[in-house]
Homo-oligomer: A and B are copies of this chain.
Amino acid sequence: MGDSVKEKIVMSTLKLISEKGYKSTTTRNIAEEAGVNEVTIFRCFGSKKDIVLYALKELELLKPVDERILDNCTGNLKEDLLMLAHEYHKNFTEEKAKIMIGLRSPEIFEEVKEYLIRIPKGFKEVLIKYFEKMYEKGLLNTDDFELLAFAFISLNFGFVLMNASYGNKLIGFSDREFVKKSIEIFVKAIEKSD
């Protein structure tokens, strides 16, 4: 079975499942979206569930967030965190399909949890490393790195999700505006005042 066909099927599956959920996405839907025959899906993957498992097992191989991003940090908290937040949002957009599976497909979540958790975990580790570095430079007023990392992720995750669910019916400002201002708040809280 051709690799390009396999890839098309995987992409279509992730797209549809993240939109409609696992159960509501039929193999006919996937076939149509991928522009292949439904039978081809079963010949390639065996079953519907195996498409998802195949897609998520890729997470095992590749680091969702590259630690080299820390090399771009300047030591200016506001600038750095803004950059990291944009990285988070970019990452979220790229992996949205996969992340949404976690929320929208309770039917298979337990089975794919171990793969999905790599996404937030990877980001958390990068953040902790960043805060450690800044603490050593004497820029932070706290050494509770895990809490800081987790607060930062929760803030962004919560926002992105509410934004995705309710958009401007609930939120009176743009994505960029929120990120910028919430980081200003965040920095105000953690920077060492001297």
A147 interface hit (Cβ, 8 Å)? yes
| Beta-carbon contact of A178 and B20 below 8 Å | no
- Known contacts A154-B158, A159-B154; is A24 also within 8 Å of B106 by CB? yes
Task: For the complex, give the distance between the alpha carbons of A121 and B150 in Å.
Answer: 24
A12 interface hit (Cβ, 8 Å)? no
Task: For the complex, give the distance between the alpha carbons of A103 and B18 in Å.
Answer: 11
| Beta-carbon contact of A173 and B147 below 8 Å | yes
Q: For the side of the interface on A, what is the size category?
A: 35 or more
Task: For the complex, give the distance between the alpha carbons of A113 and B23 in Å.
Answer: 20
| Beta-carbon contact of B146 and A173 below 8 Å | yes
- A binding-site residues for B, Cβ under 8 Å: 19-21, 23-24, 102-107, 109, 113, 117, 120-121, 124, 141-142, 144, 146-148, 150-151, 153-159, 161-162, 165-166, 169-173, 178, 181-182, 185-186, 188-190
| Beta-carbon contact of B170 and A121 below 8 Å | yes
Which of B107, B150, B170 contacts A117, CB < 8 Å? B170
Residues of B within 8 A of A186 (CB): 185, 189
| Beta-carbon contact of B150 and A157 below 8 Å | no
Sample (14) of A-B pairs whose CB atoms are under 8 Å apart: A23-B24, A117-B166, A117-B170, A121-B170, A142-B185, A147-B173, A148-B185, A151-B178, A153-B158, A153-B162, A154-B157, A158-B158, A186-B189, A188-B188
| Beta-carbon contact of A19 and B181 below 8 Å | no
| Beta-carbon contact of A170 and B124 below 8 Å | yes
Of the candidates A158, A173, A181, the one having the most CB atoms from chain B within 10 angstroms of its own CB is A158
